[in-house]
């Protein structure tokens, strides 16, 4: 059984506004992507079966692409899509970060209203049709976050390297 990746965050903005930030390409481009990249949405179709293709460019000129294929669009509560890295043409492709990463992750985002005109956002990731090797890598990543051992191993490693 592969655990699901779950991340939750409270945003100090009304739900409709947070929904727009995820479903309007010009807004999504302003915040989506790994640290230090500039995101450009190349195509966008917010309907089940439709999708998004975005280019993410880093400061050194390197580029990678993301692809979403939407499965469920229930404004302003739930957004579900297949999520993956892509090539320039928009086909799902292996992670540019290397490692045995699932090609596609089923991504579900829930938008819940909270007191004070705020929104609680909950995002989950579940591997789709992943190989056992990819599922193991995904599970290791998950456990490291919930168990907090990734950080402690990093410190341990630095300590050992200093020692050597």
Partner 1 sequence: MEDALSLKLNALADPTRRAILARLALGEATVAELGRPFAISQPAISRHLKVLEAAGLIETAQAAQARPRRLKAGALKEPADWIAGIASLWSDSFDRLDAMLAEDIEREGE
* Inter-residue contact 141 to 5 (CB < 8 Å): yes
What are the backbone angles phi and psi of residue 127, rounded to the nearest 5°?
-60, 140
**In terms of CB distance, is 103 or 137 closer to partner 1?**
137
Interface with partner 1, residue 89, by CB under 8 A: no
46 near partner 1, judged by CB under 8 A: no
> Residue 10 or 74: which CB sits closer to partner 1?
10
Which residue, among 115, 122, 116, 118, has the nearest Cα to 11 in the 3D structure? 118
Of the candidate spans 41-49, 57-65, 67-75, 92-100, the one that interacts with partner 1 by CB under 8 A turns out to be: 92-100
From the number of C-beta atoms within 10 Å of its C-beta (0-12, 13-18, 19+), residue 117 rates as exposed
Binding residues for partner 1 restricted to 109-138, rule: CB under 8 A: 121, 123, 133, 136-137
156 belongs to the binding site for partner 1 (CB under 8 A): yes
Q: Identify whether the C-beta of residue 29 lies closer than 8 Å to the C-beta of residue 162.
A: no
- Minimum distance, C-beta of residue 9 to partner 1, in the bound complex (Å): 5
Residues 26 to 45 in contact with partner 1, rule: CB under 8 A: 27, 30-35
């Amino acid at each position: 059984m592969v655990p699901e990746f779950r991340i939750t965050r409270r945003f100090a903005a009304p739900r409709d506004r947070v929904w727009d930030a995820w479903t309007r390409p010009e807004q999504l481009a302003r915040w989506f992507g790994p640290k230090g990249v500039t995101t450009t949405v190349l195509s966008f179709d917010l309907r089940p079966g439709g999708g998004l293709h975005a280019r993410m460019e880093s400061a050194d000129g390197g580029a990678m692409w993301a692809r979403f294929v939407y499965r469920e669009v229930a404004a302003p509560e739930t957004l579900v899509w297949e999520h993956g890295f892509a090539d320039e043409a928009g086909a799902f492709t292996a992670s540019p970060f290397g490692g045995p990463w699932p090609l596609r992750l089923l991504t579900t985002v829930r938008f819940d209203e909270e007191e004070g005109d705020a929104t609680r956002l909950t995002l989950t990731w579940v591997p789709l049709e992943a190989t056992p090797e990819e599922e193991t890598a995904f599970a290791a990543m998950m456990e490291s976050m919930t168990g907090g051992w990734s950080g402690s191993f990093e410190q341990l490693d630095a300590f050992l390297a200093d020692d050597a």
